[in-house]
Amino acid sequence: MTATTDGSTGAANITGVPADDPTDTRTAANDVTDVARQAAERSVEHLLGRQDEQGWWKGDLATNVTMDAEDLLLRQFLGIQDPETTRGAALFIRGEQLGDGTWNTFYGGPGDLSATIEAYVALRLAGDRPDEPHMARASGWIRDQGGIAAARVFTRIWLALFGWWKWDDLPELPPELMFFPKWVPLNIYDFGCWARQTIVPLTIVSAKRPVRPAPFALDELHTDPDHPNPPRKLAPPTSWDGLFQRLDKGLHLYHKVAPRPLRRIAMNVAARWIIERQENDGCWGGIQPPAVYSVIALHLLGYDLDHPVMKAGLASLDRFAVLREDGARMIEACQSPVWDTCLATIALADAGLRPDHPALVKAADWMLAEEITRPGDWSVRKPELAPGGWAFEFHNDNYPDIDDTAEVVLALRRVRHPDPARLEAAIARGVRWNLGMQSRNGAWGAFDADNTSAFPNRLPFCDFGEVIDPPSADVTGHVVEMLAVEGLAKHPRTREGIEWLLAEQEACGAWFGRWGVNYVYGTGSVVPALITAGLPAGHPAIRRAVDWLESVQNDDGGWGEDLRSYQEEKWIGHGESTASQTAWALLALLAAGRRDTASVTRGVTWLTEAQQADGSWDEPYFTGTGFPWDFSINYHLYRQVFPLTALGRYVHGDPFADRPDAAEGA
């Protein structure tokens, strides 16, 4: 925190001279600029010190304890438990428990039933007794919330693996789904890539219905242990939910009469699909859940643990573990090196690091080597499109994503590389691929084009998180910004994206944030894009966005938005100030030409005062999203890269403000 000479830390007295002192000839803006420059310099040093020797950055990606619980359940299922792993996981899970006995899914959030059930079962596997106070508090709360019967489907699947729940009381997911051509509703490519990678192996699990002997009973987690599987109410048959519930009943009947040769072929097709998509490091899609279910599915089909596919898959799971100094073992749901590296490169360049600085060149070299130049599942819908994009993770050649590709291009454009022809060729391929991944409505999703079927979300199986990948304002904003920087502001596809963004603006002036929390993120992504594409700051959409951002600024000068904004309107734009969300708001206001306003001055001052002595920021709040509300993420590098980007642009201005075609944009 930056203190004044009289010992205060208030924004109004940052120079140590009273604001109304007539002897102070310096403007408040100049004073704040000096402090912001110093804060940016400290942040640059901190971020440079975190770069890996190979050129990448990666912060921890924290989610919730279901990752850790399911890792222990997997090991129990496969019979590969080891005391050290169990002890480390249990230490982490216990440390995340709240005072009321529950576990939540984001910092400051309410207890979550499924997370609490899975954490409780994991601790029982680790040896915690049900009569211990922390366990009794958890089980009592679980019963009060309806017990296991009220948990989501995925939790009950894990319990069914050990006979703690009946397979007959779970939605059916037949492997014959693999036979559906891409034009048939509910084919696997109607699902978002993350759901697709999970659903395919689960079709095998659903068909096999395995049960391993449970090491203990879970009667204490049922409201009525004598009747643990109460019947679920059916929705009216005239409703979509009612229709799909009855479809599920039909699938349960089919399970009993499914021709064995056909089912065996379907499971083999699913297994081949899984194996073909295993990455070089043994994982699937660079994310933990599909890897877990793929290992289980292949094991059920007879792949022993020494099979090369299984050995690589199990080894990959260990790489999701983060070991802490106290011995706790946290499992990351995913790892984000490409995303973190491109954002760090943008932050350092915008903070004034010279374009040929060795750290930026090394980062560019690493990103160039990570380009994906072969087709993946995205090409099912875009077979004529040439590859050329970037994924989120270390290894994920099947699923490059549109958001990472846009931001990598923006990062590479800031670097003066010793091999400019190589850099320009990669940028050209990324731009071409992003243009080709545009959906028919003019916007962009994260992984696929036109992944908008309404049917997958209706399945009783899909009661958790998003299972489709429709276009979003934040991704579309990043693509539009990238295209404009590349001189394509007037390109017809860019114009379509701009029109879509303008139509998606909320009445309050904000944009919804699909991959970050929430309207602050969406607005912070869209406003700079529209300005970069040529919209004037006086455009009505920009004015409404600015007015909204200024209206939700906190009294302390920062911005914050709670994850509950995804469910409750009263939380929209409201929450404790955070470094990343304050930076997002500032990036929008700075792009809109509001640099010397009180709102920007107060926001920048909040960032400089919240900075720690080593140049970093602390941020316990979750500001990222996997699925809005259902699956929240704390990207530990967000609190470093976005504040530095905002401070850099406050001090140095927009690096692309002088583009010759900017005024001729949309």
640-663 b/e (C-beta count within 10 Å ≥ 16 → b): bbbbbbbbbbbbeebbbeebeebe
Between helix 638-652 and helix 598-610 the angle, nearest 10°, is: 130
DSSP 457: G
Alpha carbon distances (Å) from 195 to 71, 73, 389, 401: 19, 21, 21, 15
What is d(CA 472, CA 511) in angstroms, rounded to the nearest whole number?
9
Instruction: Report the alpha-carbon distance of residue 314 to residue 305 in Å, rounded.
Output: 8
Taken in order 271, 272, 273, 278, the sign of the CA dihedral is positive
Amino acid making up residue 343: L
Instruction: Catalogue the active-site residues.
Output: 403
Question: What does the angle CA 374 – CA 486 – CA 439 come to, to the nearest 5 degrees?
Answer: 55
CA within 13 Å, CB half, 175 = 28
Do residues 211 and 160 lie in contact, with contact meaning Cβ atoms separated by under 8 Å?
yes
d(CA 341, CA 408): 8
Q: At what angle do helices 473-485 and 402-412 cross, to 10 degrees?
A: 30
- Start-to-end C-alpha separation, the chain: 42
Buried b (16+ CB within 10 A) or exposed e, 546-574: bebbbebbbebbbbbbbbbbbeeeebbbb
- Three-state secondary structure call for residue 635: strand
What count of other Cβ atoms lies within 10 Å of the Cβ of residue 465? 18
49 and 615 in contact (C-beta within 8 Å)? no
Structure token pair of residue 666: 């949309």
The alpha carbon of residue 275 and the mean position of all alpha carbons in its chain are separated, in whole angstroms, by 25
Please give the backbone phi and psi of residue 334, each rounded to the nearest 5 degrees, phi first: -165, 170
The DSSP code sequence of 43-56 is HHHHHHTT--TTS-
Query: What are the contacts of 163-167 at 24+ separation with CB within 8 A?
Result: 163/211, 163/212, 163/213, 163/214, 164/121, 164/214, 164/218, 165/228, 165/229, 166/229, 167/206, 167/209, 167/211
Give SS3 for 627.
strand
